[in-house]
Amino acid sequence: MDKPKYDLENRTTEFAKRVIRLCKVLQRNSMNNRLIGQIVGSAGSVGANYREANDALGKKDFIHRLKISRKEAKETIHWLELIEEANPELKSRMEEIKQEARELKNILSAIISKTIKKNNN
């Protein structure tokens, strides 16, 4: 089955929504509460910083904002792995979300690399 095609702004928003839906099913306890706060912040920041990049004041600002977005995607992968460790019953559900985080990180890396290469030519 083909994945629906989204522009990256929509895709990053849908990713953050998926993380929120995941967090809604987590049992409330001190460990999960801490993890939830961290991951909701980082997952939401992927899209927020991508949008800021699209309104950048120049190429340097564009690249800087994309790097922040990529950093937040990497951080989100970290939190997803910890949530999976704390909630092993969700392992199968976690793989799709982790894959999407990796794909977003890779897409952002590719945009950064192409933009830097284009600016150096």
For residue range 45-85, list pLDDT tens digits in order.
Answer: 999 999 999 999 999 999 999 999 999 999 999 999 999 99
Q: Note the pLDDT of residue 1.
A: 40
Residues 70-81: tens digit of each pLDDT:
999 999 999 999
Burial class, 100, CB count within 10 angstroms (exposed 0-12 / middle 13-18 / buried 19+): buried
Quickly tell me which residue has 């970290």 as its tokens: 78
Query: 6 pLDDT band (50/70/90 cuts)?
Result: low
What's this model's pTM, rounded to 2 decimal places?
0.90
Asked if CATH classification 3.40.50.1820 holds for the domain at 8-120, the reply, yes or no, is no
